[in-house]
Structure 1
Amino acid sequence: MEMESQKLMEAVQNGDVSAAVDLLEQDPLLLDRIIVLGVSDTPLHAASVRGHADLVRELLRRAPRLASEQDSRGNSPLHLAAGKGHGEIVGELLSADPAAAAAARNLDGRAPIHVAAIKGRVDAVGRMVGAGGAGAAREVTDRGETALHLAVANGKTEVVRAVVGAVGGSDRAELVNWKDCDGNSVLHIAVAKKQIETIKFLLAIPGVNVNLINKIGSTPLDVLKQSPRDLQDMEIEDSLLNEGALRSKSIYPFDRDSEQIQLPQLSREAPTSPLLVSEKSPSKNKLPARKRANEISQHRSSLMVVASLIATVAFQAAITPPGGVWQSDYTVDENGNPVKEPHNAGTSIMAHNQRKEYGLFFIFNTLAFLSSLSIILLLVSGLPIKRRRWMWVQMVTMWIAMTAQVITYFIALRHMTLDKSESDVFPVLKDVTEVAVLAWFCLMGVVFVGNLGRVCLYYLRKKGYIKKKKKRAEEARALPADADEEEGL
């Protein structure tokens, strides 16, 4: 039997229909014994993966049960044919055993339609959905993913069109709004992958829900806002907003990080079901505290980015000062006599020619460098500096670093300009520099006054002065009403 099975397998692999038929005529029970003995790779597997449609028809005519046999990886012949995109063979296998073949799962938990969707086999997917209808399109993996989820995740837009086009009516909207184990619909995945063509196609489907919330509380618009920014974001955002997309905080106006809130549990059967809110609402004191913590966290991130940038620029300016550095030593003249103004290779040319300006450049550049490094050190030190007053201290340090960097820039700019006695541009540059510096200090003054006002307001609220004024105003508004009541009595 083993010899005959091997000869049959060789004939199938070579696509030799006549040789295979002769072997089967000589031993009509050969295929039945292969099924009973549980051979992993059957002749039908070999014929399906190699695209031998005539052999597939002959094998199925003699032993239809081969269509449901699985190999060592759990793949049925339909898995292999679907993965290879052999549409004609897929049709033959579905005709032999539509239910068992389409619903079989391999060791990865995927049905044949899932394999075809991942590979982008449009013809195979279309045949399977055409044979099984919406039920085939609703087949899910172990992670709750449909063929649409897998097609979008792998960028197979044509498969998405084929599946949606083959499913009609209410089943189409249900399929598009279906959620995987993470609560993501196909629109969530398309937005995360920045697939503009797929997003526009999905948004045009009647009944698509653009405001579904996944298990972490994000709508598709939230996914876009949380993803790395690129040039496609504006077009995607406009497409979503035109269809009424909202962020979760607009739909569910509570702090999602609060322990008092229970995130909505949306089932696949009712993807548009209303949000379920816990009876325990967050206290009025916890929400502002959470909001302040989020604001401080955002300020810390911004300070880290800006401080890193200033430190990089200041370091680069220190090792490559305006005018560059001397490329060779110059201590004696051609006759070997000492020169009046010697210099050594690697030293700054500006320090040799304009010592005063170089001194100012060095001081302000060092101030910007050390100030920015101080901020970085504080942010990464792990010290408990997350309170608002410490953030103000770091912001003041950042102002110092930025101001020092501005002064360094103008010193370098004036150094690289022609001498004032040789250029008519110098007076104009001098005026522009003075106006720019003055405008910068005015801007810094406005920012300083604004933050000083915030500090004062913070301490007034902390001490209770503003709250007392509010109470007095409320009492004053209540007095006329009380007086009217007394007159009525």
Structure 2
Amino acid sequence: MVGETVEKKLYNTASKGDLTTLQTLLQEDPYLVESVSFACSRNVVHIAALRGQASIVEEVLNINPQLARNLDSEQSSPLHVAAAQGNIVIVRKLLSVAPEACWWRDCHDMNPIHIAAMNGHDEVLKVLLEESHLPAMERLHRGQTVFHLCVKHGQLMTLKVLVEKLGELVHAKDDDGETLLHLATRSNQLEIVKYLVQHKITRTQTPNSMGKTELKILRESKSPGDKSRYSEIKNMLKKLPDPTKMLPARMGESVLVVLVLIATMAFQAGIAPPGGVWDENKNTTIGVFNITVRAGEAIMESTYGQAYMYVFVVFNTIAFVVSLLTILLIMTGLPFRSRGFSTLAMIFMFASAFSVSVSYTFSIIAITPGEEPSGLRYMFLSVYFIGGLFVIYFLVKGPVSAMRE
């Protein structure tokens, strides 16, 4: 059994890097480093790694490499301790003896890569990643990644290293559906938000599992802290497209069906107008006027004159052309990626629907018996008025909400 004095001397030797004293102690007892356990079940390698004494670590591991694999009471290996301290020399030595320790998790469910990232030890992180990238992909509490850990602790430089090394993992969400930008926004970390946005690592706002985007989280913040930082983050976020205000792909399919129907109706009405066409060239009397008509001309044009041209033909053509333009716009996929194009597609759809309804109204009034079908006119005017109010509300609500944000 090792005496208290020898144990204390070994601890001081490991802490201060006194290699000569260590060698003397080992000459007296070759099994000393294996038999002594310090507080929290740490061995001499834990202590030397904690104090940054690389020479002690190397000497002890030459005697017994197995000590690099021992865990303390917190399930931390010497590599965990060295990663936390940021000592590259010790990390390299431990990796040469026990590379599998990169995967081991302590009582906080973190491996050495997580610990190095959390503490901002960039060079140590690079050394660990050279051994293997895979431990860095291990998820933490509630599905957070090592990237979330960097943002949580404000380690921008470490985040840049990980982005360079791990690529697509930067877009991973945690169990709450939150990205790095959510976390950086919530903690008001301007530099990280700026890095994510300006380097286009994050290209759009993203709703989390509760449907909240980064901008909404920022606006709900009760204590924005530094007002200038808050405003700068807000301005950057507002430049990112908001997918909650874009045209969803499923909705786009429904809109496409409606537009195809409108285009078909307008095309059919254009080539076969209500009332039909004259079947031959002839002179005819309409009211008190004698007119000459040609085969294929719309009968409605002869009876309504310019009203047919400026109401039915114009609005029917608008419905047809705008429907085709909107169909082409949706087929490009732009409304699914941009709020501006999404709004434009909806405006075009309303315009084509309104135009085809006007041409329909004119047709119904024209073919309805009676000299003055005023009842129909009043009914259609009422419908258009109510529908117009609804469209105006829809179109105005979006820009007003955006200005408030």
Bucket of the pairwise TM-score, normalised by the shorter protein: 0.5 to 0.7
Where does residue 327 of structure 1 map in the other structure?
A: none
Q: Which residue of 2 aligns with 1:369?
A: none
Describe the superposition over 1:159-201 as per-residue Cα deviations: whole angstroms up to 9, x where unpaired: 2123223x0xxx41x2211222322221211122222221222
1:199 aligns with 2:193: yes
C-alpha spacing 1:29/1:177, structure 2 compared with 1 (3 Å): same
Question: 1:205 and 1:475, CA in 2 relative to 1: closer, same or farther beyond 3 A?
Answer: closer
- Which of 181, 201, 221 aligns to 2:215? It is 221
Which of 6, 21, 45 is matched with 1:19 structurally?
21
Retained in 2: the 8 A contact 1:187–1:210? no
Partner of 1:114: 114
Query: Are 2:26 and 2:32, in contact at CA under 8 Å, matched by a contact in 1?
Result: yes
What's the TM-score once normalised by structure 1's chain length?
0.46
SS where residue 75 of structure 1 aligns?
coil
Question: Superposed, which structure 2 residues align to 1:57-72 within 5 Å?
Answer: 57-72=58-73
CA contact (8 A) 1:224 1:237 kept: yes
CA distance in 2, matches of 1:218, 1:71: 42
Q: Deviations over 1:406-465 (max 9, x none)?
A: xxxxxxxxxxxxxxxxxxxxxxxxxxxxxxxxxxxxxxxxxxxxxxxxxxxxxxxxxxxx
Residues 402-481 of structure 1: matches in 2 within 5 Å? 479-480=364-365
Root-mean-square deviation (Å): 3.5
Gap regions ≥5 residues in structure 2: 251-357, 370-405
Instruction: After TM superposition, list the pairs within 5 Å mapping 1:224-373 onto structure 2.
Output: 224-228=218-222, 229=224, 230-242=227-239, 244-246=240-242, 248-251=243-246
CA offset digits 1:324-365 (Å, max 9, x no partner): xxxxxxxxxxxxxxxxxxxxxxxxxxxxxxxxxxxxxxxxxx
In structure 1, distance between residues paired with 2:361 and 2:179: 56
Q: Which residue number in structure 2 is paired with residue 128 of structure 1?
A: 128
Aligned counterparts of 1:106 and 1:10: Cα–Cα separation in 2: 26
Counterpart secondary structure, 1:2: coil
**Residue aligning to 1:9:** 11
Classify the secondary structure of the residue corresponding to 2:141: coil
On the 8 A contact 2:205/2:237 being kept in 1, the answer is no
Distance in 2 (CA, whole Å) between partners of 1:239 and 1:184 is 18
Contact 2:114 2:136 in 1 (8 A): no
2:172 corresponding residue in structure 1 = 178
| 8 Å contact kept, 1:144–1:181 | yes
Which structure exhibits the higher relative contact order, with contacts defined as CA atoms closer than 8 Å and separated by 6 or more residues? Answer: 2
| SS at 1:59 equivalent | helix
Seq. identity, % = 31
Counterpart for residue 415 of structure 1: none
Q: What secondary structure sits across from 2:143 in the alignment?
A: coil
Residues 245, 121 of structure 1: CA spacing in aligned structure 2 closer, same or farther, 3 A cutoff? same
Report the CA distance shift for 1:482/1:234 in structure 2 as closer, same or farther (over 3 A): farther
Deviation at 1:20, TM superposition (A): 1.6
Which amino acid is the alignment partner of residue 148 of structure 1? F
Q: Report what 1:149 is aligned to.
A: 148
Q: Distance in 1 between matches of 2:40 and 2:193?
A: 45
Question: TM-score with structure 2 length normalisation?
Answer: 0.55
Instruction: Give the drift of 1:33.
Output: 4.8
Q: Distance in 2 between matches of 1:210 and 1:11?
A: 56
- The alpha-carbon deviation at position 155 of structure 1 amounts to 1.5
